[in-house]
């Protein structure tokens, strides 16, 4: 019996020397002190020991039990504290680290420019109206003096939905709708998306945005058109721009013209931006054709007016110095975040 107790002590000491974590201590404790463990077994064996030896043997076994219990408790304490310290160390956060940036959405550069354009026209007494993107052939062409087989229809390759319905090829589709719904005097700008069946390249896209304008009143003349254009472009470029008017052709205006402004980058001496011409082509315009006024229910003997239309992307390219119109639809954050 005496030897058995010493052997058990040695075994326990060997096991105990190998513990690494609190979990191991729990295991050893169960292994040695558990109901089916060796200590309990020795207690059972006590019955076979002679009555005079029994108290001494009992004390020996009990001492070992107390020793194991005590060591396990101390082991648990020490390891538990070490593990707790390790856990805290691992969970530590560096409160001095900079926070993560939250990205805030921004307006698209074309929309930013549109806001500016509209605010200038509003300041000049124009109101803003929106026409439909899907429209009939009548509002886009026929009513604007493009007869069915008029060659001018070939000027714009059109997305037809049915023989009579189409995606508007210009914001001029809104002109007649405004004339039908309102009486002159009319001063309106009509921004919107337009669609053309063109090859996508650095200079053209299948959809882009235009700002149409229209001014109808008694005695409206060419001089009003010139003054309006000069005023608008000067405000937009924040300088007194020099304008140039060249004759051009659009079926719904007579006479029709193209407005150029002297290149704001080189001052007219020629640079990459103006393709070394000294001028920037910015807008198509003209006096509204009497037939179009009639179609809109306005008497051309009493009223006259002018209209214009320009592309927003082209303008954004000029103002922002971007060289490829596709950049506006590619969602490249490196570009978009600059605005």
Residue 161: CB minimum distance to ligand PHE, A: 19
Segment near ligand PHE (CB under 6 A), from 54-62, 180-188, 218-226, 283-291?
Answer: 283-291
Segment contacting ligand PHE (CB under 6 A): 31-39, 68-76, 250-258, 314-322? 250-258
Q: Which residue is nearest to ligand PHE (CB)?
A: 309
Residue whose CB is less far from ligand PHE, 15 or 258:
258
Of the candidate residues 178, 253, 259, 274, the single one contacting ligand PHE (CB under 6 A): 253
285 is a site residue for ligand PHE (CB under 6 A): yes
The nearest distance, CB 179 to ligand PHE, in angstroms, is: 13
**Does the protein bind ligand PHE through residue 143 (CB under 6 A)?**
no
Question: Does 308 sit near ligand PHE (CB under 6 A)?
Answer: yes
171 and 192 Cβ atoms separated by less than 8 Å = yes
Question: Does the bond joining 128 to the residue before it have cis omega, within 30 degrees of 0?
Answer: no
d(CA 118, CA 127): 9
Q: C-beta of 213: minimal distance to ligand PHE in Å?
A: 8
- The CB-of-173 to ligand PHE minimum distance in angstroms stands at 9
- What mask, x for binding ligand PHE by CB under 6 A, covers residues 168 to 187? --x-x---------------
Could you say which of 61, 64, 298, 307 contacts ligand PHE (CB under 6 A)? 307
| Contact range with ligand PHE by CB under 6 A, out of 81-89, 131-139, 304-312, 326-334 | 304-312
What's the number of CA atoms in the CB half-sphere (13 Å) around residue 50?
A: 2
In the complex, which residues of this chain contact ligand PHE (CB under 6 A)? 170, 172, 212, 250, 253, 256, 284-286, 307-309
């Amino acid at each position: 019996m005496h030897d058995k107790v010493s052997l058990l002590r040695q075994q326990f000491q060997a096991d105990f020397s190998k513990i690494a974590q609190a979990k191991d201590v729990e295991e050893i404790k169960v292994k040695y002190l558990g109901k089916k463990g060796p200590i309990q077994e020795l207690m059972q064996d006590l019955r076979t020991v002679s009555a005079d030896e029994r108290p001494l043997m009992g004390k020996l076994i009990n001492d070992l039990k107390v020793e194991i219990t005590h060591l396990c408790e101390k082991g648990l304490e020490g390891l538990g504290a070490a593990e707790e310290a390790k856990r805290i160390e691992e969970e530590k956060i560096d409160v001095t680290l900079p926070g993560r940036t939250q990205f805030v959405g921004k307006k698209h550069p074309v929309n930013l420019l549109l806001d500016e354009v509209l605010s200038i026209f509003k300041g000049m007494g124009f109101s803003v109206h929106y026409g439909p993107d899907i429209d009939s052939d009548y509002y886009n062409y026929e009513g604007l003096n493009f007869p069915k087989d008029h060659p001018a229809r070939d000027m714009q390759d059109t997305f037809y939905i049915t023989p009579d319905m189409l995606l508007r090829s210009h914001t001029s589709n809104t002109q007649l709708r405004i004339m039908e719904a309102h009486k002159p005097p009319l001063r309106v700008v009509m921004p919107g998306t337009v669609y053309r069946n063109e090859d996508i390249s650095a200079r053209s896209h299948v959809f882009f945005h235009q700002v149409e304008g229209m001014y109808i009143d008694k005695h409206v003349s060419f001089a009003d058109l010139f003054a309006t254009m000069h005023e608008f472009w000067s405000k937009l470029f924040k300088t007194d721009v020099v304008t140039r008017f060249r004759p051009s052709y659009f079926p719904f205006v007579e006479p029709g013209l193209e407005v150029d402004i002297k290149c704001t980058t080189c001052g007219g001496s020629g640079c990459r931006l103006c393709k070394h011409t000294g001028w920037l082509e910015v807008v198509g315009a003209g006096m509204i054709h009497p037939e179009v006024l009639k179609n809109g229910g306005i008497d051309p003997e009493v009223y006259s007016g002018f209209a214009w239309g320009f592309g927003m992307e082209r303008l954004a390219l000029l103002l922002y110095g971007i060289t490829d119109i596709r950049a506006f639809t590619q969602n490249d954050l490196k570009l978009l975040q600059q605005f």
